[in-house]
Amino acid sequence: MKKSVVIVAAIIVITVLALMLAGCNPLDEKPEDTSLGYWIKQDVKGEEDLGHRLPPEEFGSTETYLAKEYEPRYGDIHGYVIGLPEEYVVYKVGAYPDLSDGGRFITGIEITDRSVSVFGITVESSGADFESVFKDMGCEVSVENRANGDKVMSAEKGDVTISLTNPAEGRPYIKISVEVTNKTGIVY
Give the pLDDT of residue 188: 67
* Average pLDDT over the chain, rounded to an integer: 87
> pTM for the full model?
0.84
First to last CA, the chain: 64
DSSP string, 6-33: HHHHHHHHHHHHHHHHHT--GGGSPPTT
Q: How far apart are CA 148 and CA 66, in angstroms?
A: 27
The better pLDDT of the pair 127, 186 is held by: 127
Which is more confident, 5 or 27?
27
Average pLDDT in the 164-181 region? 95
Q: Which residue has the higher pLDDT, 145 or 6?
A: 145
Distance from C-alpha of 101 to C-alpha of 75, rounded to nearest angstrom:
32
**Residue 129: predicted pLDDT:** 97
pLDDT-derived band at 58, boundaries 50, 70, 90 = low
